[in-house]
């Protein structure tokens, strides 16, 4: 269970609730990664990890999944910045022979990454296609999607590195003024767009399970 930070730091409340001494505050992404490591240690198969944007925007979370050898298809917000298809930063500055060799990619005034929202809005209409991903209660669920290969841009300083290419999946209903959802995925480069859509939208099963846990098993009381 998630222990809020104000609970974790409150010794009196911890004592009343019987919180074990070894339990310390951890973010939801840290908890999720530990659960995954435990599952893998127990021999669980390496399935593609799905998560909403609350987890997907965390670059360290996505990198940890890759470090564990796990593919992912995770939601991200419109503000996430990427290098568009066919564009990448300049290589690091040449090594001067002094200190550590430079590793941070370089940008220029004319060579800059862009937000996934801006990238989506720059795509021609022919880049989008209608795709159905599952049967709903009354009809098939479908939407308008585009998928392009991008590189996450990271930051300008510190740990910024040239990231491997991955998929950016964009969902943009024809009736809306802007896209409604964005996903980053490390599924293979030859993955068809209909498969990308199907996998990304399997999160509805997780939401259904969560509702059952809340309503039928009492999780809502907590």
What are the tens digits of pLDDT across the range 88-106?
887 777 877 777 877 777 7
Instruction: Evaluate whether residue 194 is within a structural domain.
Output: yes
Q: At 138, is the pLDDT very low, low, confident or very high (cuts 50, 70, 90)?
A: low
Instruction: Evaluate whether residue 9 is within a structural domain.
Output: no
Lowest mean pLDDT among 51-55, 58-62, 161-165: 161-165
pTM: 0.85
What secondary structure does DSSP assign to 168-184, as a single string? EEEE--TTSSS--EEEE
Burial 98-123 (b: 16+ CB within 10 A, else e): eeeeeebbeeeeeeebbbbbebbeeb
Instruction: Evaluate whether residue 29 is within a structural domain.
Output: no
pLDDT in tens, 28-52: 999 999 999 999 999 999 999 999 9
| % pLDDT > 90, the chain | 62
Please state the domain count of the chain.
1
Instruction: Evaluate whether residue 207 is within a structural domain.
Output: yes
Instruction: Evaluate whether residue 153 is within a structural domain.
Output: yes
- Please give the Cα distance from 200 to 180 (Å, whole number): 14
pLDDT number for residue 157: 45
Q: In terms of residue numbers, what domain contains 175?
A: 46-87+107-216
Instruction: Evaluate whether residue 102 is within a structural domain.
Output: no
Instruction: Evaluate whether residue 95 is within a structural domain.
Output: no
């Amino acid at each position: 269970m998630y222990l809020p930070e104000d609970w974790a730091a409150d010794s009196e409340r911890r004592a009343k609730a019987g919180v074990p001494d070894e339990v310390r505050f951890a973010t939801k992404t840290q908890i999720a990664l530990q659960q995954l490591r435990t599952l893998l240690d127990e021999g669980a198969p390496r399935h593609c990890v799905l998560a909403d944007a609350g987890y997907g925007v965390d670059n360290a979370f996505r990198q940890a999944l890759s470090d564990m050898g796990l593919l992912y298809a995770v939601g991200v917000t419109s503000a996430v910045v990427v290098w568009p298809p066919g564009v990448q930063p300049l290589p690091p500055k040449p090594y001067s022979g002094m200190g550590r060799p430079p590793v941070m990619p370089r940008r220029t005034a004319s060579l800059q990454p862009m937000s996934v929202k801006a990238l989506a809005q720059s795509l021609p209409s022919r880049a989008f296609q209608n795709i159905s991903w599952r049967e709903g209660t009354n009809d098939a669920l479908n939407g308008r999607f585009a998928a392009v290969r991008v590189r996450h841009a990271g930051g300008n300083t510190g740990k910024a590195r040239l990231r491997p290419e991955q998929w950016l999946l964009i969902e943009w209903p024809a009736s809306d003024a802007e896209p409604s959802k964005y996903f980053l995925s490390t599924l293979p480069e030859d993955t068809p767009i209909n498969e990308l859509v199907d996998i990304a939208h399997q999160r509805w099963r997780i939401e259904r399970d969560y509702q059952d846990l809340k309503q039928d098993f009492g999780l809502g009381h907590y």
